Structure 1
Amino acid sequence: MKLRKLLNIHKGSITSIVGAGGKTTLMFSLAEELRQKSKVLVTTTTKIYVPQKYQYDYIAKSECEFDYYNKLSCKGIYVYGDSVNSNNKLIGLDCRLLEEQLSYFDYVLIESDGSKGKTIKGWGDYEPVISNKTNNTIGIFSIENIGRKINENNVHRIKQFMNITDSCEGDTINIDHITKLIFHSKGLFKNAVGHRILFINKVENESDIVLTRKLINNINKNNHGYIDSIVFGRLQ
């Protein structure tokens, strides 16, 4: 089954992706599926590395270029950013500027969270930045985090993470920690708009599947309609 169908992504939808452990890969995997038959906007409200040329058909690196690309009828992946910084990162759009572009595209995919390359995180007061026009918020979590130590090397915004999960530095991340991370008001779906979809990534072998099912069972016991759907797999 196609990824977009698993995630219930429909034409006209605006999808924001949050969390850590595969956001950019998920965004471009979805865009690639839609590339041939749709006009797809890929952008961010934070920062992402400028993608490789094979990942897109058109790229606008400043606001002054948007009007030209908005008027094109060609199908493909359009990457928009406000500028490029000295680290070759595409600076994202604020929500006002982003929302002015939405009507020109069949699908809109937005990376709305940052994690500094780490696979798990806590959240600052100002993040994630999610447009109110969003239809689906996908929260991504990597199963590889369970069993890792809580320390600065593994966790982005460690203090916030420990507050959310009632954990201490040096603890081993477990299923209860992740369940708290998912359901806490300042956790994975903080500021979420529209349907909440949990994507569990890096499920690569039988032991990962067993662990993932244990996590899902724990989530289902606490869900009460908070999460609309759960998908697990491995993004390549």
Structure 2
Amino acid sequence: MHRFIDFFPLKKGQMTAFVGCGGKTSLIEGIITEAENFNLPVIHTTTTKIYPPKERKFILGSDIQELIEGIKSVGDSLVTAAYAIDSGESKLLGFPVKWFNTLLQEFPGYCMLIEADGCRGQSIKIYRENEPCLPPETDRVVILTGMDAFTCCRIEEKMHRYDLFQRFFPNKKFYTLQDRIDILFHSKGLITKIPKEIKKVLFLNKVTEATLEQARMIADLLLEKAAEQLDGVLIGNTFEKPMIYEYRK
């Protein structure tokens, strides 16, 4: 097994966004742990909503200067920052995307990890018009999808917002493996809706030793379909440490 940063070393001033389904939060937390082991300074935040971290403090700022001063006052190499707390869901709310450029200028010595999409624990989805919420300064996007999206009996079992999916795809009893791969490349799919100019890698999550060979086959089919749309496919499991079985490209 390998670390994420073995393939994608974190760089100061770099912004990486995480979108898709099936493990964004656990992947980000795993990368944060890897970064801490190398004393790499990280600002962790969101453009949507995330649960507060369990074992560290977070900074809130409903004004950009308030947020900047809050981050500076902590003085830690790891900061989770957000706009406010949603009292209903007890989640941290993301701040406006226009703030990111200012934060990059104020904190050039940090790398930024951004959760930029939501999926309510499912493994595949179709984007709405306003999704994903990516800052223009994003350097790389990591797209997650769960292995179970390709192996479950019925696609609706693992599809976030199945009603939206039905607007674009026929109501079939069974979707083949190729059908499921094609969903990611739909105009509103997890891969194709990301701007072409941004570097993209897909993380095939929830893979085990028992499903590794099948995951390799799926990764190769994804790369064949992707052409220039993907830099590669990471195969792994965010509940393992290290998290990555291999990187195929």
TM-score range, shorter chain: 0.7 to 0.9
Q: Is the 8 A contact 1:70 1:101 kept in 2?
A: no
**Pairing 1:1-236 to 2, within 5 Å after superposition:** 1-35=2-36, 37-52=39-54, 54=55, 56=56, 58-64=57-63, 65-72=66-73, 74-85=75-86, 86-103=88-105, 104=107, 105-148=109-152, 149-151=154-156, 154-162=158-166, 166-168=169-171, 170-172=173-175, 174-189=176-191, 190-192=193-195, 194-206=198-210, 208-236=211-239
Deviation at 1:186, TM superposition (A): 1.5
Deviation at 1:169, TM superposition (A): 5.7
Distance 1:182 1:8, change over 3 A: farther
Deviation at 1:163, TM superposition (A): 5.1
Deviation at 1:81, TM superposition (A): 1.1
Q: Is the 8 A contact 2:61 2:70 kept in 1?
A: no
TM-score (norm 2): 0.83
- After TM superposition, the structure 1 stretch with the greater mean CA deviation from structure 2, 3-12 or 94-103, is 3-12
For 2:159, what is the secondary structure of its paired residue? coil
- Hey, what's the Cα distance between the residues in 1 that align with 2:226 and 2:89? 40
Distance 1:9 1:185, change over 3 A: farther
Deviation at 1:12, TM superposition (A): 2.3
Letter of the 2:11 counterpart: H
Distance 1:162 1:7, change over 3 A: farther
- Hey, what's the Cα distance between the residues in 1 that align with 2:177 and 2:73? 47
Deviation at 1:220, TM superposition (A): 2.6
Q: Which runs of 5+ in 1 are unaligned?
A: none
Percent identity over paired residues = 24
For 1:184, what is the secondary structure of its paired residue? coil
User: What whole-Å deviation, never above 9, does each CA across 1:77-106 have from its counterpart, x for those lacking one?
Assistant: 211111111211111112012332223152
Letter of the 1:92 counterpart: G
Measured on the aligned residues, the alpha-carbon RMSD in Å equals 2.2
State the number of aligned residues: 229
Deviation at 1:234, TM superposition (A): 0.8
Q: Is the 8 A contact 1:15 1:136 kept in 2?
A: yes
- After TM superposition, the structure 1 stretch with the greater mean CA deviation from structure 2, 41-50 or 31-40, is 31-40
TM-score (norm 1): 0.87
Letter of the 1:62 counterpart: G
Q: Which runs of 4+ in 1 moved over 6 A?
A: none
Q: Is the 8 A contact 1:45 1:95 kept in 2?
A: yes
- Hey, what's the Cα distance between the residues in 1 that align with 2:164 and 2:101? 30
Letter of the 1:177 counterpart: D
Deviation at 1:43, TM superposition (A): 0.6
Deviation at 1:7, TM superposition (A): 3.3
Q: Which runs of 5+ in 2 are unaligned?
A: 240-249
Letter of the 1:118 counterpart: Q
Deviation at 1:185, TM superposition (A): 2.7
- Hey, what's the Cα distance between the residues in 2 that align with 1:225 and 1:191? 13
